[in-house]
Amino acid sequence: MSEAYHIISDGSCDLAEALAKEKDITVVPFYVSFDDEHYLKEGVEIGIRDFYQQMVERKGVYPKSSMPSAQDYAEAFFPYAKEGIPVICICITTKFSGSMQSALNAKALVLEEYPDAEITVIDSCINTVLQGLYVLEAAALRDSGMSYADTVKRLEEIKSTGRIFFTVGDMEYLKHGGRIGKVTAVAGSVLGIRPVITLKEGEIFPSGIGRGRKRTTEKALELLLEYLAEGLNADCYSIAIGYGYDYQEAEAFRAHTLEILHGRGIDIKEIPIFQIGATISVHTGPYPLGFGIIEKGIHQ
- Give pLDDT tens digits for 207-244: 888 888 899 999 999 999 999 999 788 999 999 999 99
pLDDT for position 181: 57
- Give pLDDT tens digits for 136-175: 999 999 999 999 999 999 999 999 999 999 999 877 777 7
* Beta-carbon contacts of residue 56 (< 8 Å; ≥ 6 apart): 245, 286
Q: How far apart are the first and last CA of the chain?
A: 29
10: nearest Cα among 117, 121, 84, 85? 121
Beta-bridged to residue 88, according to DSSP, are 7, 120
Kindly report whether the global pTM for this prediction surpasses the value 0.85. Answer: yes
Q: Quick one: what percent of the chain has pLDDT higher than 90?
A: 74
DSSP helix/strand/coil, 131: helix
DSSP helix/strand/coil, 250: helix
Q: Quick one: what percent of the chain has pLDDT higher than 70?
A: 94
52: nearest Cα among 284, 299, 297? 284
Q: Which of 25-29, 72-76, 154-158, 175-179 has the lowest mean pLDDT?
A: 175-179
